[in-house]
Amino acid sequence: MMSLIKLVNVSKSVKNQALLTNVSLTVNAGDIVTLEGINGSGKTLILKAILGLIRTTGDVLINDQKLTVGGKFPIRAGILIENPSIIDNFTAKKNLELLARLLPEVTDQQIDNLLTQFELPINDNKKVRKFSLGMRQKLGIAQAVLGQSPLIILDEPTNALDAESIDKLVTYLHQLQQRGCTFVIASHDRDFVEQVASRRFQVKAGQAHEI
Ligand X SMILES: Nc1ncnc2c1ncn2[C@@H]1O[C@H](COP(=O)(O)OP(=O)(O)OP(=O)(O)O)[C@@H](O)[C@H]1O
Give the ranges where the chain is alpha helix by DSSP (H): 43-50, 92-100, 108-117, 133-145, 163-178, 190-196
Q: Determine, following the binding rule CB under 6 A, whether residue 23 of this chain makes contact with ligand X.
A: no
Give CA separation, 5 vs 33, 60, 73, 95, 210, in Å: 11, 7, 12, 29, 15
Of positions 159, 188, 198, 202, contacts ligand X by CB under 6 A: 188
Q: Kindly identify the residues of this chain, within the stretch 42-101, that bind ligand X according to CB under 6 A.
A: 42-45
Q: List the one residue out of 36, 55, 23 whose CA is nearest residue 155.
A: 36
Q: What are phi and psi of 91, to 5 degrees?
A: -75, 170
Q: Determine, following the binding rule CB under 6 A, whether residue 18 of this chain makes contact with ligand X.
A: no
- C-beta of 43: minimal distance to ligand X in Å? 4
Q: Which stretch binds ligand X (CB under 6 A): 22-30, 38-46, 132-140, 167-175?
A: 38-46
Provide the mask over 138-177, with x wherever binding to ligand X is found by CB under 6 A and - wherever it is not. ----------------------------------------
Q: 42 - beta bridge partners?
A: none
Binding site for ligand X (CB under 6 A): 14, 19, 37, 39-45, 186, 188
